[in-house]
Homo-oligomer: A and B are copies of this chain.
Amino acid sequence: MAEPSMEEADGLVGGSNKVMGLGDRAYEDLKEKLVRGAYPPGHKITVRAVAEELGYGTTPARDALNRLVAERALVFSGPKTVVVPTLSLAELYEVTQMRLRLEGLAAEKGAIGAGSADIARLEAFQGEIDAALAEGRYADALWSNKEFHFHIYGRANMPMLLATIETLWLRVGAAFNDLYPEFAISKYGIQNHRAALEGLRHGDPQEVKAAIETDIRDGYRRLRQALSERAPKK
């Protein structure tokens, strides 16, 4: 049973072979820290700081930064300053629109030919989400939520699509990690996931697609509200 493995080398390895250099390692490390919310939005990230923090030289650190900037997981606030991004209302809307199309596509294609093994796996993820949520382990719930989504997307066998979706998740993850936990998942999310599972059981890709889209829309509403309630912050 082949694991979709969203833990692969971030999408660069799309079936090709590439030696993992320090630069890629640094990229993975930094990405991990970003998505885990190690730095608050607005925090300045410098090449030398990353180099020392991760224990690599300045070249790999620079490579990682450049890559993250290209993916917009980090943004310039000045000619020479990169910071963890903040998502404006407009940007959140834009990312959501892209997610709807792209993840809708991935869900639809991924649903085709899904078997009971997939369903069992997804139910396991959902169980982890429920458990984590019940115990207040929001970070774990978020992680399992990601696994749930990407297990479906991964089945589509569309590496480019998957990589693009991942950058979108990284974009919102990095910007919202400071307030995400409380808002990210709720009974709505659970309900949408159950709907997706139903669609999988029925062998109806459109039903799965619709459920995922609703999930994205629900998340958008919550994020949007969180954003407007967020104090203008000194």
Contacts and interface: CB of A to CB of B under 8 A. Distances in A.
Interface of A: 12, 14, 16-19, 23, 63, 66-67, 69-72, 75-80, 90-91, 94-95, 97-98, 101-102, 104-105, 109, 157-161, 163-164, 171
25 contacts: A12-B69, A12-B70, A14-B72, A14-B75, A16-B76, A17-B76, A17-B78, A17-B79, A19-B80, A63-B66, A66-B67, A67-B70, A72-B160, A72-B163, A90-B157, A94-B161, A97-B105, A97-B109, A97-B158, A97-B161, A98-B161, A98-B164, A101-B104, A101-B105, A160-B171
Instruction: Enumerate the 10 nearest inter-chain pairs by beta-carbon distance, A residue then B residue, closest first.
Output: A101-B101, A16-B76, A19-B79, A94-B158, A18-B76, A101-B105, A17-B79, A94-B160, A16-B75, A98-B161
A64 to B, nearest CB: 11
B70 A70 contact: yes
Looking at chain A's contact residues, the main secondary structure is helix
A40 to B, nearest CB: 19
A91 B14 CA distance: 11
A22 B76 CA distance: 17
A23 B76 CA distance: 16
Contacts of A94: 158-161
Nearest to A85: B16
Contact of A102 (B67, B76, B77, B98): B98
Contacts of A17: 76, 78-79
A70 B23 CA distance: 13
Given A14-B72, A14-B75, A94-B159, 14 more contacts: A16-B75, A17-B76, A19-B79, A94-B158, A94-B160, A95-B160, A97-B105, A97-B161, A98-B102, A98-B105, A98-B164, A101-B102, A101-B105, A164-B164
Contacts of A97: 105, 109, 158, 161
Contacts of A159: 94
